[in-house]
Amino acid sequence: MSLHATYTARWQRHKVVPFDIRAGGAFRARRFPPGTRGFFYYHHDPTTPPLAGELRFRVTRDRDPSLFASGHDLLCDNGIPWRISLIQIASRKTFESIKDTLLEDGLVSETVIAQASTQSVVSSRILHSFEQPFRFGFGHFQQELLTVGYDAMRNFSLQRVGIVRMPSRSIPWITKPRDSDSKHREVYTDHAFVTGSAICHFEKSTLPEHDGKRVVVCRMLRVVDPIGINRQMRVPDALIPREGDLLRMSIREAKKPCWFVDVDSKVTSKSSRDATIVDALALLYDNEARARAIAAR
């Protein structure tokens, strides 16, 4: 059931701030479970970029603030904590009262808010670290993700995951290419060979062929929506996603160990999409190095 309601956010000084949570777009919400009690709070690990902050909800037995530590974060159906990212808070008028409270209480700076507000959010999958779980769908034409660093944000997309493009029919050329001897051209359509969704994460590759390199792979942790196989197609067994396995994203990877991205590779593709993925995943390495430096202080 979609949510379009007003909640109240209670902060450490017991300030009451009204705001709306609306369904739709990149942020899709559901009603809180009946009888849910607790506190909205701002969560930010000091070893992660300031842009990685988010509003969460701590479930407690009642409204006593002393119970906060013994409570637990409200989880979505997929097991990931319910949250509203700082980028969403900074860039949407819906959450303006939350933004004002964060600034007034000194939880974020004007500089960070200004930086966060420059991003047009296209996905709720906002990543800052390796092994950070996110929901991933199979059989989708395109899925948007965002990585955030200390000085940058990078949108990137994974396309045709679990999809193969096949010829469907031939039609006459309107303008025939000079190098073609055919009177017709093929029309291609996309077909999903696997469907469903899972919780996945990006991690650093430990495969022998990637030794000494900065290579990112994607591992499937657990199923959310049941995995379906297109029985009308001959789907190689290696392409069927299984819990605990490294993912293969497309048919051409059936004979490869997995999908991977070498963040130090020289991208030669004519498309800028590959370069965008490289830049986005390189931020995870940069963040890890900054986190080590912070921890060593």
The pTM for the full model equals: 0.79
Average pLDDT over the chain reads: 80
Alpha-carbon distance values, 93 to 28, 84, 117, 164, 175 (Å)? 16, 13, 11, 40, 49
How does residue 11 score in pLDDT terms, banded at 50, 70 and 90? very low
Distance (Å, whole) CA 59 – CA 57: 6
Six token digits for residue 73? 């974060």
CB proximity list for 41: less than 8 A, separation 6 or greater: 11, 55, 56, 57, 58, 68
Provide the pLDDT for residue 121.
61
Average pLDDT over residues 127-148: 90
How does residue 268 score in pLDDT terms, banded at 50, 70 and 90? low
Six token digits for residue 117? 């507000």
Six token digits for residue 5? 């309601």
Contact 130, 163 (CB under 8 A): no
Domain boundaries, the chain: 4-121, 155-295
